[in-house]
Chains A and B, each alone.
Chain A
Amino acid sequence: GAVVSQHPSRVICKSGTSVKIECRSLDFQATTMFWYRQFPKQSLMLMATSNEGSKATYEQGVEKDKFLINHASLTLSTLTVTSAHPEDSSFYICSARKASGGAYNEQFFGPGTRLTVL
């Protein structure tokens, strides 16, 4: 159990277009989902925390108008990269925390989405 999927796994788009990435918890409910960004040979950097039914909390330096996050249900969160530019090219990873929580609030990670902006 505790599987998180992401779609698409890989996307290439033109500069100026918008791209939506979906994150789904397949076999559990997640009140909280997290979005990370990973540059080559660098750490995963937390971009934002989304709670079902409320606005996302963005980390310092992350533009909320550029990276739109929607957490409409307990199993789905979406990240939309608006007006994408080549510098937005990166590996985006989501994770989900079970609604039931746990002693250490384990997060379950998706496989990531490789975004390339031309």
Chain B
Amino acid sequence: GNSVTQMEGPVTLSEEAFLTINCTYTATGYPSLFWYVQYPGEGLQLLLKATKADDKGSNKGFEATYRKETTSFHLEKGSVQVSDSAVYFCALLSTNTGNQFYFGTGTSLTVIP
């Protein structure tokens, strides 16, 4: 079946620290992988995506590489800012199951000045 396992939080970092949020997946077929971000009081927003193995998604200084060999899609950012404080969700989209999304549990990030 399809599932996403995401690093549990909460994560608290100082400003300018390096961020890694781990995400691994199991899937049938060839899924697309996503990171969504949810700021307080707002909906989920697409942060970045990768549609095939070895693709690297990037946006706003965040990066994640689709690693088929390790079934991973870890989120990284070299220097976090206070404004990055949010909940981050890893997700996969499986075309084998009618374009259904499977989400991780979400990781809460708090960046302190």
Nearest-Cβ distance from residue B93 to partner chain A, whole angstroms:
6
Bound CA span A44–B32, Å: 17
Check if A105 sits within 8 Å of B99, measured CB to CB.
Answer: yes
Question: Are A112 and B93 neighbours in the complex by a CB distance under 8 Å?
Answer: no
CB nearest neighbor in B for A32: B99
Q: Does A79 contact B (CB under 8 A)?
A: no
* Cβ contacts A92-116/B at 8 Å (1 or 0 each): 0101000000011111111110000
Determine the distance from Cα of A95 to Cα of B34 in the docked complex, in whole angstroms: 15
State whether A107 touches B42 (Cβ < 8 A): no
Chain A, Cβ-Cβ closest to B49: A104
By a beta-carbon cutoff of 8 Å, the part of chain A in contact with chain B is 4, 6, 34, 36, 41-44, 46, 49, 93, 95, 103-112
**B interface vs A, CB < 8 Å?**
4, 32, 36, 41-46, 49, 51, 89, 93, 98-106
Residues of chain A within 8 A (CB-CB) of B93 are: 104-105
Interface of A is mostly: strand
Interface contact B105-A41, CB-CB below 8 Å:
yes
> Across the interface, which residues of A come within 8 angstroms of B4, CB to CB?
43
Question: Do B44 and A42 touch across chains, with their CB atoms under 8 A apart?
Answer: no
Q: Are A43 and B104 in contact (CB under 8 A)?
A: yes
Which of chain A's residues have a CB closer than 8 A to the CB of B100?
46, 49
- Are B46 and A106 in contact (CB-based, < 8 A)? yes
> 10 interchain pairs (CB within 8 A)?
A36-B103, A41-B105, A42-B105, A43-B103, A44-B103, A46-B100, A46-B101, A49-B98, A105-B99, A109-B44
